[in-house]
Amino acid sequence: MLQWLMTHERSPLPILQIPPYLVNEHYDDRYFDVVNAIEEAKHIYFRGAGIIDALSAAGAGRKEFRIGETGFGAGRLLIAFMDFLDNCGITDLVITYNSVELHPVASERMASILDGFRTEAGPLIDLLVLAYGRVEISRPGWHSIQFTRPFGALTLNLWIGEALEMVHALTIPCDAWFLDGHGPKKNPAMWRHELLMAKGEKTVTGGTCATFTVAGEVRRGLTSAGFSVEQRPGFGGKKSVLKGLKL
């Protein structure tokens, strides 16, 4: 079944026919589109948030950069991000990757969810699953994992708990946000006004955000939170996606 999904541009299958481990039972929604999930992440989030431009603008030498992600899920975005940075030609990066997950999956399930793109990112999947397997996911609050990569160093700070708690717990604002918390119809709480406002406050001026949804309430919410938002071409069947610039 998964092989079928991976070889078709966009799955016309109803969600009930998707393997159950790919569906987040709390929201009755997939963790991500199973087709080209790594490339999709690079298009929507990393190019959308202008990561390379921002890193290049920082000039030569050690560059610190802070990401915020909601929510962590199976870590597909983190894997795609490390793959993206490994191949970006920039080194001496010091990345802080803050993420949050209200319903953490066990590492065995993470491995199953990520298995569909093992061909593209097998070693990174093994690295993350091994490190995540040591995280005490039943304990709320921050958990940190360090990765050393060709691009430099990345620290994953994973908050187990609710997204607003995590945003409030950030002591330093982020340079870019990846907003990936299921769509507003399936999970309105992830797009609520209070949370988007808090993210705006925890974003540097000139910082960015990116998301797959162009829903009107998301565009209005991000605008209220201080972002200038713009639709850009989508990927793999999505007509358009959203990027934001913090004014």
Ligand X SMILES: C[S@@+](CC[C@H](N)C(=O)[O-])C[C@H]1O[C@@H](n2cnc3c(N)ncnc32)[C@H](O)[C@@H]1O
Nearest residue (CB) to ligand X, 79 versus 93: 79
Residue 58 to residue 88: CA distance in whole angstroms: 15
Binding of ligand X at residue 175 (CB under 6 A)? no
CB of 76 to ligand X, least distance (A): 3
CB of 205 to ligand X, least distance (A): 26
Q: What values do phi and psi take at 40, rounded to 5?
A: -60, -45
**72, amino acid identity:** F
Stretch that binds ligand X, among 25-33, 47-55, 85-93, 231-239 (CB under 6 A): 25-33
Binding of ligand X at residue 177 (CB under 6 A)? no
Chain Cα centroid distance, residue 158: 12
CB atoms within 10 A of CB 123: 10
Stretch that binds ligand X, among 24-32, 125-133, 200-208, 227-235 (CB under 6 A): 24-32
Binding of ligand X at residue 43 (CB under 6 A)? no
Residue 93 to residue 129: CA distance in whole angstroms: 23
Binding of ligand X at residue 33 (CB under 6 A)? no
Q: What angle do CA 79, 84, 85 make, to 5 degrees?
A: 100
Q: What are the tokens at 204?
A: 């540097």
- For ligand X, the binding residue among 48, 50, 68, 73 (CB under 6 A) is 73
- For ligand X, the binding residue among 8, 10, 62, 103 (CB under 6 A) is 103
Which of 206, 210, 211, 145 minimizes the C-alpha distance to 175?
A: 206
Query: Where do contacts with ligand X occur on this chain (CB under 6 A)?
Result: 24, 26, 31-32, 71-77, 100-103, 162-163, 180-182, 187, 189-190
